[in-house]
Structure 1
Amino acid sequence: MEIKTCEQYVLDQLEQAREERDWLRGKLEQAQDEAEELRGKLMERGERDASKVEQAIRKEGRAKLYRDGTSYRTSVDDGGKLMPFEDWCIEHIGYSSQRCGMTKNEFIAYFEPEFRTEYEELAEEWKAEQE
């Protein structure tokens, strides 16, 4: 539509504003739906309303499961070479992880951050000794 008058210009601007409003409403509804879905997932995991005591219990429980599931073999030395991370994890895991109902691979995947931290510390110490 060709704009010839001031009224037509104002009506065109109004129509554009309405279209933008409708688009923004759609985006808002989409974001609200996504937020609600994420909130539901978070509630399922029980972390939304977790108190500081519950968080501390979870942290300590996770640490205990990790300690109980790993053995005391902490060397990353493999005959003068640095043992690869994956091999070290297999060697480092103990038999008690089976009682948690997890396979060794599941245990390693679940506690990968803890394994990674411990391995990196030991690897740094090993490298320092090699120099």
Structure 2
Amino acid sequence: MEIKTCEQYVLDQLEQARAERDWLRGKLEQAQDEAEELRGKLMERGERDASKVEQAIRKEGRHKLYRDGSGYRTSVDDGGKLIPFSDWCIEHAGYSSLRCGMTKSEFIAYFEPEFREEYDELVNEWKAGQE
């Protein structure tokens, strides 16, 4: 099509810009997919390549951080009623200052598996005592 007017020129430029944008968007999505795949491979490799000593250090370090930041087996009993998990976590976390750059709520979220395991154990003991 031959461009004869200013409007036709502007429309032509707009269409070219849209086509280039769509092409770039496709390239970006492709690059993001490749990056995600490489991140996954890197994580797999990192876990696989970690020596048994490094794995033991990570495990013990996590356990120590949890122990240092949580209280001593606080009760799940609140006058004959069971304290909800989230309330128990807040009470049980003796974590009052920023440790490793985490707030108390971030600490609880990060160590939720450990909190959950301890809470479930205490709930089972509490239920056994109720029978």
Where on the TM-score scale, by shorter chain, does this alignment land: which range? Answer: 0.5 to 0.7
Q: So what's the TM-score if we normalise by structure 2?
A: 0.67
Which of residues 33, 37, 40 in structure 2 aligns to 1:38?
40
After TM superposition, where is structure 1 displaced by more than 4 Å over at least 4 residues in a row?
none
Whole-Å Cα distance in 1 between the matches of residues 130 and 90 of structure 2?
Answer: 24
Deviations 1:62-93 (A, max 9, x none): 00000000011520001110000000000000
Partner residue in 2 for 1:71: 71
| Inter-partner Cα distance in structure 2 for 1:93 and 1:107 | 8
Q: Report if aligned partners of 2:97, 2:103 keep a CA contact under 8 Å in 1.
A: yes
Gaps of 5+ in 2: 1-33
Letter of the 1:38 counterpart: G
CA distance in 2: counterparts of 1:38 and 1:74, whole angstroms = 39
TM (normalized to structure 1)?
A: 0.67
Out of 69-78 and 105-114, give the one that drifted further.
69-78
Equivalences, count: 98
Q: Runs of 5+ in structure 1 lacking a partner?
A: 1-32
Maintained 8 Å contact 2:69/2:94 = yes
Q: Which residue of 1 aligns with 2:58?
A: 58
Give the letter for the 1:39 counterpart. K
1:121 matched residue in structure 2: 121
Correspondence 1:1-131 to 2 at 5 A:
33=34, 35-40=37-42, 42=43, 46-95=46-95, 98-131=98-131
RMSD of aligned Cα (Å):
2.3
Change (3 A) 1:126 1:101: same
What is the one-letter code of the residue matched to 1:72?
A: Y
